[in-house]
Amino acid sequence: MPPTTAVARRSAASRRRRRTAYLLLGIATAVTLVLATALTQGLFRDTGPTLVDVPPLAGQTQEQARTILAAKNLVMVSEPVRNADVAVGLIVDTRPPRGTQVPIGSTVTVEVSSGPGEKAVPNVVGQPLESAKQVMTTTGFTVTGWVEIDDPSQVKGAVVSSDPAVGTIVPLTQSITLRIASGKVKVPRLVDLLTDTARTTVTGLKLVYDDTTRVEDDTKLEGTVVAQDIAPDTLVDVGSTVKVTVSRRPTATVTFTPSTPGTTSNPGATSGSSGQTPRP
């Protein structure tokens, strides 16, 4: 083989070895970069804050809740709320709700019962029963009962009063009783009253007064009620008529006595010649 050909072959082999070495070096460099990148991302990646669950605190005292939250590195803030079912001072609920995951160091608001609260009893006088009950419910009270009373100040079925009374400040847990007009009223005793007084009494009870009947009675002051057609304390419908009998003075009479036979009808006449007036 000529010397020139051998040299050429050795040169070609040398070039192939260099290309292979460069290729392997390139591959190693790429692999190294990939591994470095992956390692760097694994070491410095931001995984976010540590999360914890909001614990159940309903029914606990504030001190108990504070201790439980502190154990989870959570901060407690209390807020009073009205609640008729949970005792004063105990926790009703939390914000966020129990079971919610929050970052360590978060603030948890605990709602602490301040009791049911208080309000003034609303005025429902004159309203029908169902309307009155609705007003009470809207205000926050509960109507536990009602009773009928004989009071003519309101129409039948309307509220006369409440217990506790209108305007009284009471807890919202206070039960309310309503008094409802029955539409009935007791007839009062009128005998021996002057008719004007009796009229005022009867009409004040929303009854009709009738005193057209009069009777002579010299034992009573004129205008005195001597009888009534409905006995006292009798229950009657509002608007009923009560008839009374009223005394009046007896009519004055003039009695005429006729003269007897044989006597003079002129007592001023003279007797005989003496001119004297006869003695009676």
How far is residue 176's CA from residue 120's CA, in Å, rounded to a whole number? Answer: 12
Tell me what pLDDT residue 278 has. 45
Confidence band (pLDDT; 50, 70, 90) for 23? confident
pLDDT of residue 7 exceeding 70: no
How far is residue 119's CA from residue 134's CA, in Å, rounded to a whole number? Answer: 16
Tell me what pLDDT residue 209 has. 97
Q: What is the pTM of this model?
A: 0.53
Tell me what pLDDT residue 269 has. 44
Tell me what pLDDT residue 5 has. 63
Q: Which residue has the higher pLDDT, 257 or 222?
A: 222
With beta carbons less than 8 A apart as the criterion, state whether 96 and 75 touch: no
Confidence band (pLDDT; 50, 70, 90) for 268? very low
Q: Which residues contact 102 (CB under 8 A, 6 or more apart)?
A: 51, 52, 54, 74, 96, 108
Tell me what pLDDT residue 30 has. 77
Would the CATH topology of 51-113 be identical to that of 185-248? yes
Q: What is the CATH number of domain 185-248?
A: 3.30.10.20
Range 18-41 average pLDDT = 72
Q: Which CATH number fits domain 118-182: 3.90.700.10, 3.40.1440.10, 3.30.10.20, 3.30.450.20?
A: 3.30.10.20
Tell me what pLDDT residue 247 has. 96
With beta carbons less than 8 A apart as the criterion, state whether 44 and 38 touch: no
pLDDT of residue 45 exceeding 60: no
- The length of the chain in residues reads 280
pLDDT of residue 14 exceeding 90: no
3-state SS class at 268:
coil
Range 77-87 average pLDDT = 89
Q: What is the CATH number of domain 51-113?
A: 3.30.10.20
Give pLDDT tens digits for 196-253: 999 999 999 999 999 999 999 989 999 999 999 999 999 999 999 999 999 999 886 6
The rounded percent of the chain whose pLDDT value lies above 70 is 80
Task: Report the DSSP beta bridge partners of residue 94.
Answer: 110
Tell me what pLDDT residue 73 has. 96
pLDDT of residue 254 exceeding 80: no
Tell me what pLDDT residue 238 has. 94
Q: Which residues contact 209 (CB under 8 A, 6 or more apart)?
A: 198, 199, 202, 203, 241, 242, 244
pLDDT of residue 265 exceeding 80: no
Give pLDDT tens digits for 118-137: 899 999 999 999 999 999 99
Range 40-65 average pLDDT = 82
Tell me what pLDDT residue 280 has. 41
- Using CA atoms, how far residue 35 sits from 24, 41, 45, in Å, is 16, 10, 15
pLDDT of residue 62 exceeding 80: yes
Question: What are the sequence ranges of the domains in the chain?
Answer: 51-113, 118-182, 185-248
Rounded to the nearest integer, the mean pLDDT of the chain is 85
Tell me what pLDDT residue 78 has. 95
Q: Which residues contact 71 (CB under 8 A, 6 or more apart)?
A: none
Range 75-88 average pLDDT = 90
